C-alpha cells in the first residue's frame, strides 16, 4: 500500500507562513521529477534539464512568501520550466525565434516492473517508435497528459493554447498511435 501524497495546499501554506524547509523538501519531491522530464524533453540535455528544474524549485523557495496566491502550483511550475527552457534554447540564436513546434521531443515510456519490461519489450519498442513519429506538439501534449497526469486545462495553460487545441492534439496522437500499432500487429 502506497503512502498518500501530502496535500499541496498544506505544504504551500507551511512554506509561505513558516518557511518550512521540511514542507519544501516534500514539495520538491512531488514536483521535481515531472519538471525534470518536461525540461529534458525540451532541452535534450540531462545537465540542462536538471539545472532548469532546480532553478524552478529555487524560484519557488525565493518567492515562498507569495506562493499561497498561486491557484495551481503544478501549472505555475511547468510554465516557469517552459519559459526557462525556451530562454536557454533561444540564447544562442537571438535572430531566430524558437517555437515549441520546432523542438524535437523524445518520450520514454516507463514500464512499472522489470518483468513487464521483458514480456512487453517488443510492444514497448513499437509504441516508442510510433510515439516518435508524432508531430512535436502532439508528442508534448501526449506526454503532459499521459505521462505527467496533467489535465487538459493544465496542459493548455502550460503550452498557452486552448483546451480544444489540447484535445485536438491528443485525438491526433491517439489516432496515429492506434493506426501505426494496428499496422504493426496487423490488427483489424
Query: Is residue 8 a part of any domain in this protein?
Result: yes
Per-residue model confidence as pLDDT tens digits over 122-149: 666 777 777 778 888 888 898 888 878 8
Containing structural domain, residue 133: 111-188
Contact between residue 77 and residue 56 where contact means Cβ atoms under 8 Å apart? yes
- pLDDT at residue 36, as a whole number: 92
pTM: 0.66
- pLDDT at residue 64, as a whole number: 93
Q: Are 36 and 62 within one domain?
A: yes
- pLDDT at residue 153, as a whole number: 93
Mean local confidence (pLDDT), 54-70: 93
d(CA 147, CA 168): 18
Q: Are 129 and 91 within one domain?
A: no
Contact between residue 38 and residue 148 where contact means Cβ atoms under 8 Å apart? yes
Q: What is the CATH number of the domain that holds 158?
A: 1.10.10.10
Whether the per-residue pLDDT at 103 is higher than 80: the answer is no
Amino acid at each position: 500500500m502506497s503512502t498518500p501524497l501530502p496535500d499541496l495546499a498544506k505544504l504551500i501554506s507551511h512554506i509561505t507562513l513558516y518557511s518550512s524547509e521540511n514542507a519544501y523538501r516534500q514539495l520538491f519531491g512531488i514536483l521535481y521529477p515531472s519538471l525534470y522530464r518536461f525540461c529534458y524533453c525540451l532541452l535534450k540535455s540531462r545537465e540542462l534539464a536538471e539545472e532548469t528544474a532546480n532553478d524552478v524549485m529555487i524560484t519557488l523557495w525565493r518567492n515562498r512568501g507569495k506562493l499561497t496566491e498561486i491557484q495551481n502550483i503544478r501549472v505555475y511550475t511547468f510554465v516557469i520550466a517552459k519559459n526557462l527552457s525556451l530562454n536557454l534554447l533561444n540564447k544562442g540564436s537571438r535572430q531566430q525565434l524558437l517555437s515549441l513546434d520546432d523542438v524535437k521531443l523524445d518520450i520514454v515510456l516507463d514500464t512499472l516492473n522489470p518483468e513487464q519490461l521483458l514480456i512487453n519489450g517488443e510492444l514497448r519498442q513499437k509504441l516508442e517508435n510510433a510515439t516518435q513519429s508524432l508531430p512535436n506538439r502532439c508528442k508534448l501534449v501526449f506526454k503532459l497528459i499521459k505521462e505527467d497526469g496533467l489535465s487538459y486545462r493544465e496542459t493548455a495553460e502550460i503550452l498557452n493554447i486552448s483546451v480544444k487545441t489540447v484535445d485536438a492534439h491528443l485525438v491526433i496522437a491517439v489516432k496515429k498511435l492506434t493506426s501505426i500499432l494496428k499496422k504493426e500487429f496487423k490488427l483489424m
